[in-house]
Amino acid sequence: MNPGLLSALAERFRARFGRPHTVAAYAPGRVEVLGNHTDYNEGFVLSAAINYGTLFLAAPAADEQCRLVAADLGEETHFPAAAPAPSAAHFWSNYVAGVLAGLGRRGRIERGCLAMFLGDVPQGAGLSSSAALEMSSALAFCALYGLRLTPVELARIGQAAEHEFAGVKCGLLDQISSLFGREKALVLSDFRTLEVSSVPLGEEACFLMCNTKAKRALADGAYNERRRKCEEAAAYFAAVLPHPVQALRDVSWEEWERYAPNLEPLAARRAAHPIGENERVRRGQTLLREGRLADFGRLMFESHESSRRYFENSCPELDFLVDTAAQIPSVLGARLSGGGFGGSAVVLARPRDAEAIRQALDRAYLRQFGQPCDIRVIVPAQGARVLQGGAALAQEAP
């Protein structure tokens, strides 16, 4: 976390509300490294919490209303603590209101609050600024209202906020990554069992996040359509395969090749992506444990090609970045990260090569599209935590 963020936001909180905050919580964004759209297919993902996130401050109010301020926008909204509802006028507030609604189902919340948040996760970049807001607000509210929930319970509350208040049928990847992050390590998540472990990345690897700034709107139906097609494909494979199939996680690539010709063509293409991704994650975590970064990077390139060919969740800007990265000898791997349809590409490199790669990609992108690409060095970071006013999050150690 930016060391000056807490003091700066604390001053703004006091200026707005005329009193200091009593609770502070922070949650990072995340980068998805391998395992695209596998979370809601009960599969595997390698991800990381990142060194950008959201800080959330809160204090009890004198009445039953919650006053919520987005410090970067200078906007304020309010809603009753006991009955938050989605807002069309202040859509950004829906992530927080949805979290409070979910917490209210697990513990009676009647007293209002004063709250303010500020973050440095680039919005629309595929780094899950929404999950950072959800998890930082969830931890702050738990501290404020004396609630004790497990990290997985908090992740589910954030997911429900996305579903019910933001209209995005996401999986649990973003929230799990934000909660279970570790420095210098990736988070390996099994989204059937919700078992989480850490895979060391080591000192000789970092990521460059390349924000295309291309329009990215998951709530417009593209994400939800892919999910429906995956569910259709899972139902088909459950009917034709000689073993139980609960989700696409249970289908091998060999089974897809054999049986997909009889599946509706669009559903078959969509299913190919998470099925292949699950196999890549399994291989990838082994390669990382063996220190084989270059081989792991090749899986990232394969992942992007699968996104482009089967899931069609890439875009010209992302394809250009990945194709350009593939021509730079010091790049180890590259792919789109997150939901797709815009947002960011993630590039795997060694720290000593990062700046030269950044300059090369930036120049190429500017020539191609006439505008700069926001490229930042990303390192795996510690997960969400309470900073002031409550106990630290008791994580199940991965």
> Under 8 Å CB-to-CB from 132, ≥6 apart: which residues?
27, 28, 29, 30, 53, 54, 119, 121, 178
Q: Find out whether 63 and 82 touch, Cβ atoms under 8 Å.
A: no
231 Cβ partners below 8 Å, 6+ apart?
A: none
**What CA–CA distance (Å, rounded) separates 123 from 208?**
16
Give CA 378 to chain center in angstroms. 14
Whole-Å CA distances, 258 to 38, 240, 369: 21, 11, 41
Annotated active-site residue 174? The verdict is yes
β pairing state of 206-211 and 185-190: unpaired
Report residue 110 CA to chain centroid gap: 31
Number of Cβ within a 10 Å radius of residue 395: 17
Of 293, 354, 303, nearest in space to 328 by CA: 354
Q: Which of 194, 77, 179 shows the shortest CA–CA distance to 393?
A: 179
Q: What is the total residue count of the chain?
A: 398
Cα separation, 111 vs 341, in Å, equals 41
Contact by Cβ (8 Å): 229, 263: no
* CA distances from residue 228 to 40, 303, 315 in whole angstroms, order as listed: 11, 21, 21
The backbone torsions φ and ψ at residue 87, rounded to the nearest 5 degrees and listed phi first, read -120, 130
DSSP 40-102: GGT-EEEEEEEEEEEEEEEEE-SSSEEEEEETTTTEEEEEETTS----STTGGGHHHHHHHHH
Q: Which of 63, 174, 220, 362 is catalytic?
A: 174
Would you please indicate which residues are annotated as catalytic (active-site) residues? 174
